Amino acid sequence: MPYLFTSESVSEGHPDKVADQISDALIDNFLAFDPSSKVACETLVTTGQVVLAGEIKTDTYLDVQKITRDVIRKIGYTKSEYMFEANSCGIFSALHDQSADINQGVDRKAVSEDFESRANAQGAGDQGMMFGYATNETDNYMPLPLDLAHAILREMSNIRNNETELMPYLRPDAKSQVTIEYSDDHQPIRIDTIVVSTQHDDFADDETMLAKIKEDIINIVIPRVKAAQNVELHSLFTGNITYYINPTGKFVIGGPHGDTGLTGRKIIVDTYGGKGAHGGGAFSGKDPSKVDRSAAYATRHIAKNLVAAGLCDQVLVQVSYAIGVAKPCGLYVNTYGTAKVDLHDGEIATKVEELFDMRPYAIEQRLKLRNPIYSETAAYGHMGRKNEIVKKTFGSNGHTKEVEVELFTWEKLDFVDKVKEAFGL
């Protein structure tokens, strides 16, 4: 019997995402000047106020106030009527040294500088389990409902920043939600419901305002999102979609003034929109020694390469760790009965363990995670993004540094041939 599945997304101006972006901007700046930095940085944002807290081990000094204000300004909180504004908000920093008890398990002295010695010396930054997922229902191997929910808000952000005259009332805070109807064999049939709530300027006439926003989203935003999809998906955009646009009505008060934001509160938006599974650990604000982040990227890398190689139609990969221990406690694979090889999932997992070194140091090296690549992950999802090389500029204590980095390395299909060879595909 057909079924419905729903995923949501939030914009870069959502208060939780504001917090994520500040935390990850700090990570990037620390790594740019000291790649060995260990950082766990949490951010809280509320009316006119930012609170930074966390643990840091680094050899560099940062102007955290300037970095924070730059992020808020880039997001678009630049007007006093927002009650949260880049130049005037208060910033309180409670960042302090990392616990030596935690650090001793992560930074054991390697016997030598060779790869094996360093990989065995660096233990996991915490215990826990991490999941990666991939499906062949989209070109980027992501679940379609989440992919469309992200696309709607990215297009609205593009309009707000680059085509202001089209929807001049848009403010930074927004949410979207997409419900897809699937067939018995898990193929998308149609879009059932689209929900969009966007912060906006005040209108003299609330009724006129609501009608205008709904008209613009249906007639401007959705056609652009449709046009950006593969032709095969265009048929999903029928005339029978149910739209809920700002269903509560007026949405002038938003952002950190409307709701307090915290780092790490949008972990399902950050990953797979509820498909697959999540181990519970947030990503933003954590350097790659924290396996909550690095191992989640590594399992996505595995899952995407397995599906892209044709091993299965969808797959969930789990890895788990003990704090201070390099070797994972276990690796689990679930192909949901879609495997194209005559092997049980446990046998597939054994082969995957041979292909992918999941020790924390090996993950950092394979995916180039000790680079300042994290600000780009902090809005519109950490998975399913474009792998590309960019130049970034950082400033600290009067010094400027330009670095060339590779973004979203875990999205590369660089293990497809190895998977095919290992499984005889």
Alpha carbon of 209 to those of 7, 203, 243, 360, 374: distances in Å? 27, 6, 16, 52, 37
For every residue of 213-238, DSSP letters joined together read HHHHIIIIIHHHHHHTS-GGGGGGS-
Task: Give pLDDT tens digits for 50-76.
Answer: 999 999 999 988 999 999 999 999 999
pLDDT at residue number 112 = 65
pLDDT at residue number 146 = 98
Two tokens, residue 116: 């094996």
Q: How many CB atoms lie within 10 A of CB 323?
A: 14
pLDDT tens string, the chain, 425 residues long: the values are 899 999 999 999 999 999 999 999 999 999 999 999 999 999 999 999 999 999 999 998 899 999 999 999 999 999 999 999 999 999 999 999 866 555 555 666 665 678 888 888 888 888 999 999 999 999 999 999 999 999 999 999 999 999 999 999 999 999 999 999 999 999 999 999 999 999 999 988 888 899 999 999 999 999 999 999 999 999 999 999 999 999 999 999 999 999 999 999 999 999 999 999 999 999 999 999 999 999 999 999 999 999 999 999 999 999 999 999 999 999 999 999 999 999 999 999 999 999 999 999 999 999 999 999 999 999 999 999 999 999 999 987 778 899 999 999 999 999 999 999 999 99
Alpha carbon of 140 to those of 137, 229, 411: distances in Å? 9, 11, 8
Element containing residue 422 per DSSP (H, E): helix 416-423
Cα 368 from chain centroid (whole Å): 17
Backbone angles phi, psi at 398, to 5 degrees: 85, -5
Domain boundaries of the chain, sorted by first residue: 3-10+145-253, 15-112, 128-136+269-423
pLDDT at residue number 108 = 61
Q: Which of left, alpha, beta for 129 (phi over 0: left; psi -120 to 50: alpha)?
A: beta
259 is in an annotated binding site: yes
Q: Is the CATH number of domain 15-112 3.30.2320.80? A: no
16 is in an annotated binding site: yes
Domain range 3-10+145-253, CATH architecture: 2-Layer Sandwich (3.30)
Two tokens, residue 276: 């697959």
Going by the DSSP 8-state scheme, the letter that residue 252 receives in this structure is -
* Total length of the chain: 425
pTM tops 0.85, yes or no = yes
356 is in an annotated binding site: no
286 is in an annotated binding site: yes
pLDDT at residue number 242 = 98
278 is in an annotated binding site: no
| 145: nearest Cα among 278, 10, 273 | 273
97 is in an annotated binding site: no
354 is in an annotated binding site: no
| 136: nearest Cα among 9, 225, 228, 230 | 230
CATH number of 128-136+269-423: 3.30.300.10
Q: Is it true that 3-10+145-253 and 128-136+269-423 share their CATH fold?
A: yes
Decide: 348 and 335 in contact? Cβ < 8 Å.
yes
42 is in an annotated binding site: yes
Cα Rg of the chain, angstroms: 22
174 is in an annotated binding site: yes
266 is in an annotated binding site: yes
pLDDT at residue number 204 = 82
290 is in an annotated binding site: yes
pLDDT at residue number 396 = 74
